[in-house]
Amino acid sequence: MTADLSPKNTLLTERALTSAVRLFAEHGLDSVSMYAIAFDADIDPVDFRRAFPTKLDLIYEITVHCTRSLVSRETSAAAAERSPLEQMRGLIRRHIEFSWEHRTELELRRALMPTLRAIYPARHRELSGVLRAYRDRVQGIIERGRELGQFARPGPSEEPASAATVLQTLESILNWYDPDADLTLAQLSDVYVDLIIHHLLDAPRD
């Protein structure tokens, strides 16, 4: 079942998830016990185990919570942006900022999805549904941009860039970005805005 410490105590749940993510980032998933997480979050171990019977339950809750936060954040922020070009530019920057801030959760999600598909299909469908909502939003921006001429329409022999292409490109930062190198996060965003908008989507330059 989906774990939850208490429907009446979301702050306690938040504390548990925050402690788990930080400890996983510092020590690695396999090196952190459930008891250590409960101790760090100042939650009774019995209550913690009742809420999260296994580490898989805990990881699932972390990934669903993070993914819903991404969708909610994007929906709220995009309301102030008017054109598809502005929306895509903002989405790219926010996605990169969010991905780096929550890289531990996103790496957990990457590892979790095949397991869910194999042994927890209902959970896989739930998490996939949240991801699909985000992907559909990106696809909607692309299609509106093409209708308005802000993004180029692909030729008959060209494979059009899709939301999946855009998101795969954005998620690649987790594979290589090093904040201790010369490229700042803001500069990284500039690079990806140019790559996605002007190369993948073939938007004309001003």
CB 159 within 8 A of CB 71: no
pLDDT at 79: 67
* Domain 80-200 indexed as CATH 1.10.1740.10: no
pLDDT at 132: 95
Q: pLDDT grade, residue 155 (50/70/90)?
A: confident
pLDDT at 9: 67
Residue 3 has pLDDT above 70, yes or no: no
Residue 2 has pLDDT above 50, yes or no: no
Closest CA to 98 of 130, 128, 74, 123: 74
Residues in Cβ contact with 146 at an 8 Å cutoff, skipping those fewer than 6 apart: 152, 153
* Per-residue model confidence as pLDDT tens digits over 25-50: 999 999 999 999 999 999 999 989 98
Q: Which two tokens stand for residue 130?
A: 């949240």
pLDDT at 8: 42
Ordered by start, the domain boundaries in the chain are: 80-200
CB 152 within 8 A of CB 202: yes
Q: What is the pTM of this model?
A: 0.87
Percent of the chain with pLDDT over 90: 73
Residues in Cβ contact with 48 at an 8 Å cutoff, skipping those fewer than 6 apart: 5, 16, 34, 37, 38, 41
